[in-house]
Amino acid sequence: MERILICRTDKLGGHAWQCGNCNHTKVAYNSCKNRSCPQCGWIGVQKWVIRTNPKIVERDHFHMIFSIPEELNTFWVKDTKLMIQLLFKAVKQTLEEFSEVKFGCLMTLHTWSRTLALHPHIHCLITAGGLNKKGEWQDSGDYLFPVLAVSRWFRARYLLLIREHAVSLGGKGVVNPVIHPLFDKKWNVFISRKYRHGFGVMKYLSNYVKGGPIKNTRLISYDGSTVTFRYKDHRDNKQKVMVLPREEFMRRFLMHLIPKSLRILRFIGIYGQKKRIQLPKIIQEIFPQVLAS
């Protein structure tokens, strides 16, 4: 957080560019390069997409989202690192339980809503099919998994993992009263239509892999006591404005800082192999055009 506060100031030093023709010199302060910084988060977005895309096989993909209920937010704040690790584990085990082939999946964590409220969920870019026992590609067609069954299995898996680690979250006396009602609550798991080669989802996920909870373009003003920013309300799809006290804005922002050295991007299945399947050269050449479209 300290580096974000001094981003692009003299405290981080600076650098200069000089034109070789007219000797005009431009001086700029260094950035903090933190993915959560409103000024710097966007820098690596397109580079990440272009760098990661060759690792994605030339096959159709599905977009899946695994969300957890807000009742678990208390545990998330208490031990963010543990809850993130358990969430990734529960999603991985769920996908492996329902898949009959060796699929490829890119998973990334997203913790904020459009108003910066805590809303942990994992986005998955998963292949529409995979390698069968003979090493041949088996396509899944237009149907991936039964979403209701996946939701129930994921719910049970994550809650049981939390129960196993109850000591780290305050003990069974604290954990059990919270999680027991959640075994009967409906959990949200989303499975999209198929995306051709996963290009669309790659562009979408890049904002979470390299972007932070809010960008400078959404910030409207700060008057010393309140922060005003714009957001898009998903209920009516309209742009709206929110004003928050300075302390509340900072509280919401800080909830989404990821513990140091914890990866929010995971590759599993055929994407988790050291030697990943490469896209044909022609696809790599046209991808920058697809990205820009």
Q: Are both 171 and 100 inside the same structural domain?
A: yes
Residues 121 and 5 in one domain: no
Q: What gap in Å lies between CA 135 and CA 107, rounded to an integer? A: 23
Predicted local confidence at residue 120, as pLDDT: 96
For residue 4, what are the domain limits? Answer: 1-32
Alpha-carbon span 60 to 27, nearest angstrom: 46
- Closest by alpha carbon to 218, among 241, 245, 247? 241
With a CB cutoff of 8 Å and minimum separation 6, the contacts of 175 are 75, 162, 163, 166, 169
Asked if residue 23 and residue 153 are part of one domain, the reply reads no
Query: Are residues 169 and 197 both part of a single domain?
Result: yes
- Please tell me the predicted confidence (pLDDT) of residue 261: 78
Residues 241, 233: Cα–Cα separation, whole Å:
10
Instruction: Report pLDDT for 289.
Output: 43
Shared domain for 185 and 282, answered yes or no, is yes
Place of tokens 């719910």: 155
State the Cα angle at 222 between 217 and 225, rounded to 5°: 150
Task: Quickly list DSSP for 79-109.
Answer: -HHHHHHHHHHHHHHHHHHH-SSB-EEEEEE
- At 222 the pLDDT is 93
Q: Are residues 132 and 268 in the same domain?
A: yes
Q: What is the pLDDT of residue 174?
A: 97
72 and 101 both lie in a single domain: yes
Q: How far apart are CA 111 and CA 252, in angstroms?
A: 11
* Mean pLDDT split into 10-residue runs, the chain, 293 residues: 58 71 73 59 66 80 95 96 97 96 93 94 94 90 93 98 97 97 96 81 73 84 95 91 95 87 88 59 40 41
- Return the pLDDT at 40: 62
Regarding whether 68 and 188 lie in a shared domain, the answer is yes
Q: Do 95 and 26 lie in a common domain?
A: no
Q: Are residues 196 and 241 in the same domain?
A: no
Task: Assess whether 1 and 73 both reside in one domain.
Answer: no
Q: What per-residue confidence (pLDDT) applies to 287? A: 39
pLDDT for res 41: 55
Which run of H or of E encompasses 26? strand 25-29
- Give the per-residue pLDDT at 51: 76
Same domain for 167 and 245? no
∠ CA 88-291-234, rounded to 5°: 60
Nearest-10 crossing angle of helices 45-52, 281-292 = 160
DSSP-derived secondary structure letter, 131 = E
Count up the domains in the chain and report the number. Answer: 3
Q: 31-59, pLDDT tens digit by residue? A: 655 655 655 655 566 677 777 777 788 88
- Which pLDDT does position 281 carry in this prediction? 41
HEC sequence for 137-172: EEECCCCCCCHHHHHHHHHHHHHHHHHHCHHHHCCH
> What's the confidence (pLDDT) of residue 33?
56
Residue 258: what pLDDT? 82
**Taking a C-beta distance cutoff of 8 angstroms, is the pair 161, 154 a contact?**
no
Question: Is 7 within 8 Å of 36 (Cβ atoms)?
Answer: no
Looking at residue 129, its amino acid is: G
Give, to the nearest 10 degrees, the angle between helix 199-209 and helix 45-52.
Answer: 130
